[in-house]
Chains A and B, each alone.
Chain A
Amino acid sequence: MKFRKQFERTVETLFFVSALASILSVIFITLFILIEGLPLFFHSATDYPPPTFFEFFFGTEWFPTDTPPKYGIMPFIVGSLFVTAGALVLAVPIGIAVGVFIAEIARGRAQKILRSATEILAGIPSVVYGFFGVMMIGFFLQNFDDPIVNYNAFSASVILAVMTLPTIINITEVSIRSVPREFADGSFAIGSTHWQTIIRVLIPAARSGIITGVILGMGRAIGETMAVLMVAGNQPTIPTEGFRSRVRTLTMAVVNDMGYAADDHRVALFTTAIVLFAFILILNLVTQIITRRSSIKVQ
Chain B
Amino acid sequence: MSTHSQVSSKAAARAYLAPHTIRVRRQQAIAKGVIWAAAGVTILTLVLIVGYILFNGFYTRKVQDFPVTPYVEERVPIAEDGTTMSIVVERSMRIRDITFPKLEEIYTGRLPFLGYLTTQNRQTTAVVYDGDGFAAKAEAFVLSEGRTFDFYGDDVTYAGSAEEIQSILAENDGTIALVPSEMAEGLRHGKVIGLLQSTVIVNPEILQLQGGRRLDHLKLGQVADLISGAAPAWSDVGGPGIVVQEQDLQNNIPGVYDPLPAVPVVPANPDALWAYFDDVYDDASDAPIRENAVTADGLDEYINTVMETPGAIGIIRTKEAMDRDLPILQVERITHWLNLRPQLLFHAPSRAGAVGGLSYIIINTLAMVLFVIVIATPIGVAAAIYLIEYSKQGRLVYLLRLGTDTLAGIPSIIFGLFGMVFFAQFLGFKTGLISGTLTLTLMILPTVIRTSEEALKSVPRDIRDGSLALGATKLQTIFRVVLPAASPGILTGVILGIGRAVGETAAILYTLGSNLALLHSINSPMRVLSVHLYMLIRENVSLPNAFAAATILVVIVFLVNYTTTRLIGRLNRMAGQ
| Residues of A bordering B, CB below 8 Å | 4, 7-8, 11-12, 14-16, 18-26, 28-29, 32-33, 36, 93-94, 97-98, 100-101, 104-107, 110, 113-114, 116-121, 123-132, 134-135, 162, 165, 169, 181, 184, 188, 191-199, 216, 219-220, 222-226, 230, 251, 254-255, 258-259, 270, 273, 276-277, 280-281, 283-284, 288
* Residue of B with least CB distance to A36: B421
Beta-carbon contact of B533 and A127 below 8 Å: yes
Give 1 or 0 for each of B540-577: 1 = CB within 8 Å of chain A CB.
00000010001001100110110011000000000000
Interface size on B, residues (CB 8 A): 95
Chain A residues, Cβ within 8 Å of B41 = 94
Main secondary structure, interface of A, reads: helix
Interface residue? B230 (CB, 8 A): no
Chain B facing A: main interface SS = helix
Does A123 contact B42, Cβ atoms closer than 8 Å?
no
**Interface residue B167 (Cβ < 8 Å from any Cβ of A):** no
B2 touches A114 (CB 8 A): no
Question: What's the Cα separation between A254 and B410 when bound, in Å?
Answer: 15
Instruction: For B416, give the chain A residue with the smallest CB separation.
Output: A255
B445 touches A223 (CB 8 A): no
Bound state CA distance, A159 and B41, in angstroms? 14
| Known contacts A127-B503, A165-B42, A120 near B31 by CB under 8 Å | no
Hey, which chain B residues are within 8 Å of A11, CB to CB?
475
- Given A21-B383, A23-B402; A276-B414 close (CB under 8 Å): yes
Min CB–CB distance B394 → chain A (angstroms) = 13
Residues of A within 8 A of B421 (CB): 32-33, 36, 270
Chain B residue contacts of A162, Cβ below 8 A: 45, 49
| Contact across chains for A26 and B418 when beta carbons are under 8 A apart | no
Q: Which of A97, A124, A184 meets B49, CB within 8 Å?
A: A124
> Interface code B266-307, partner A: CB below 8 Å = 1, 0 otherwise?
000000000000000000000000000000000000000000
Say if the beta carbon of B256 comes within 8 Å of chain A: no
Which A residues are in CB contact (< 8 Å) with B49? 124, 128-129, 132, 162
Distance between A199 CB and nearest chain B CB, rounded to angstroms: 6
Report if B405 contacts A (CB, 8 A). Answer: yes
Please determine whether B503 and A124 come into contact, CB atoms closer than 8 angstroms: yes
Q: 7 shortest A-B CB distances, which residue pairs? A: A223-B411, A125-B503, A23-B403, A97-B38, A194-B9, A18-B382, A15-B386
Cα-based distance from A98 to B40 in the complex (angstroms): 9
* Complex CA distance for A19 and B38, rounded to whole angstroms: 40
A22 and B446 contact, Cβ closer than 8 Å, known pairs A36-B421, A94-B38: yes
B502 to A195, Cβ gap below 8 A?
A: no
Choice from B52, B402, B413 contacting A255 with Cβ under 8 Å = B413
Do B407 and A22 have beta carbons less than 8 Å apart? yes
**Is there contact, CB below 8 Å, between A14 and B382?**
yes
**30 A-B residue pairings within 8 Å (CB atoms):** A12-B390, A15-B390, A19-B386, A21-B383, A21-B445, A22-B407, A23-B402, A29-B415, A32-B426, A94-B41, A94-B42, A97-B34, A104-B2, A120-B561, A121-B45, A123-B561, A124-B553, A126-B503, A128-B553, A129-B49, A191-B15, A192-B9, A223-B410, A230-B537, A251-B411, A254-B417, A255-B509, A259-B510, A280-B414, A281-B406
